Every structure is written in C-alpha cells, then in structure tokens.
Amino acid sequence: LAEGAQRVEDALAQRISPGPVFSRRGFSVWTSQRRLTVIHPAPLR
C-alpha cells in the first residue's frame, strides 16, 4: 500500500516538479535532487 501511494506521489511530482506536491497527509516539496516531505497534524483545507 505504501509503495502504491509513493508511486502516485512520484507521478504527480514528475508532472509539476519542482514545487509542492499536496496529498491527504501533507505535502512534499521537491528540490532539484531530493524531496522534503512535510506531514501536517491536520488535513489541509
């Protein structure tokens, strides 16, 4: 399940990277070489 979610995030990131990738649990900020994942305690609105 985790791998599937990772693939979805990777696909989204490839479409709009570099930039923030929003998901249900938080968002991932992509840089040129790596991704910084930020987990939010509350859902984004």
What are the pLDDT digits (tens) for 14-42?
Answer: 665 455 555 666 666 655 556 656 555 56
Looking at residue 7, its amino acid is R
Q: Which residues span the domain enclosing 28?
A: 2-39
The whole-number average pLDDT for the span 1-22 is 63
| pLDDT at position 3 over 60 | yes
In a domain, 21, yes or no: yes
Residue 29: inside a domain, yes or no? Answer: yes
Residue with tokens 């939010």: 40
Rounded CA separation 34/27 (Å) = 14
Residue 45 maps to a domain: no
Could you give the C-alpha distances from 27 to 11, 38, in angstroms and in order? 14, 6
pTM, entire model: 0.23
Residue 44 within any structural domain of the chain: no
Number of independent structural domains in the chain: 1
In a domain, 15, yes or no: yes
**What does the pLDDT read at residue 13?**
60
